[in-house]
Amino acid sequence: MEDTDLMGSNDNILSIRIIEAAKLLFMENGFRGTTTKMIAKEARVNEATLFRHFKNKEGIFLEITKEIPKYSHLRLETILESDVSPEEMLYQFGMELYQRIVDSKGVLIVAIIESKRRSGLVTNVTQILRKLIEILEKRFKALYQEGILIESDFFTASLMYVESLIGLFVVQSRLDGDMIPIEIERLCRSASKIFLNGMLKK
C-alpha cells in the first residue's frame, strides 16, 4: 500500500483520514477489538504512516475524544427552556442526547465504556456528563420554583435520567436493538413519562 505526497497539508489530510477510519472501527468493534492494522487498512495508509502521525492506538482514540467536551450544549439548553410540558421537554432532551451520540459516530459511547480502563479518557467523558447533568438539574429546580415539580433531590434525579438514557443507548447501539427491540423515539417518550411520574405535583 502506497501513500501519495505526505508533505505539507497532506499530513493533515492523512491524520483526518486515520481519525475518521478509527471512529468507524471503534464503534463497530470497540477499542480492544480494533487494531492499528485495521485502522491503517480502512484509512488506506500503511502502518508506518499511521505511527508517524500517532504514537499508538490509544493516542488515536485520545485525539478523537478531545472533541467530546467541546460539543455545544446550546440545543439542549434551548429544549430545556422551551415552553412545552415537562414530559415533552424530557422527551426532546433524550432525543437530542441520542442525536449527539449519532453525530459523534458512536465515539461518545465507546469513550464512556473505555473510560473505566483508561484514565486519560476520564476527564473528557466526565466534563460532558457533568455539564448535561448540570443543565438538567437547573431546569428541574426552575420547574420546582414554578410549582410544577415536587421538592426532590434534583441533582440525583438529573444524574439518574442522563445515565439511564445513555445506558439504554449503549445497549441499543452495541446489540443493534436485538436484545431490546424498541424504537429510540418510543424509548425516550416512555422514559420521560415514567421518570416524571414521581416528580410532578398532582
Q: What is the largest CA-CA distance in the chain?
A: 68
pLDDT in tens, 155-180: 999 999 988 888 777 666 655 544 45
| Annotated domain spans of the chain | 9-65, 68-196
Tell me the pLDDT band of 105, cut-offs 50, 70 and 90: low
Residue 187 one-letter amino acid: L
pLDDT of amino acid 118: 67
Residue 75 one-letter amino acid: R
pLDDT (average), residues 64-87: 81
List, in order, residues 6 or more apart from 59 with CB less than 8 Å away: none
Residue 15 to residue 54: CA distance in whole angstroms: 8
pLDDT of amino acid 7: 47
Q: Within a 10 A sphere around the Cβ of 77, how many other Cβ atoms? A: 15
Supply the CATH classification number for the domain 68-196.
1.10.357.10
> In the CATH scheme, what is the homologous superfamily, with its name and number, of domain 9-65?
Homeodomain-like (1.10.10.60)
Instruction: Find, among 11, 4, 5, the residue nearest to 52 by Cα.
Output: 11
Tell me the pLDDT band of 73, cut-offs 50, 70 and 90: confident
8 Å CB contact between 22 and 45: no
Extract the C-alpha cell encoding 176. Answer: 443493534
pLDDT of amino acid 165: 83
Instruction: Output the pTM of the full model.
Output: 0.70
Residue 78 to residue 95: CA distance in whole angstroms: 13
pLDDT in tens, 120-169: 667 777 777 888 899 999 999 999 999 999 999 999 999 999 888 887 77
pLDDT in tens, 30-71: 788 899 999 999 999 999 999 999 989 988 988 887 776 666
Establish whether domains 9-65 and 68-196 are of one fold: no
DSSP string, 159-200: HHHHHHHHHHHHHHHHHTTSSS---HHHHHHHHHHHHHTTTB
Residue 79 one-letter amino acid: I
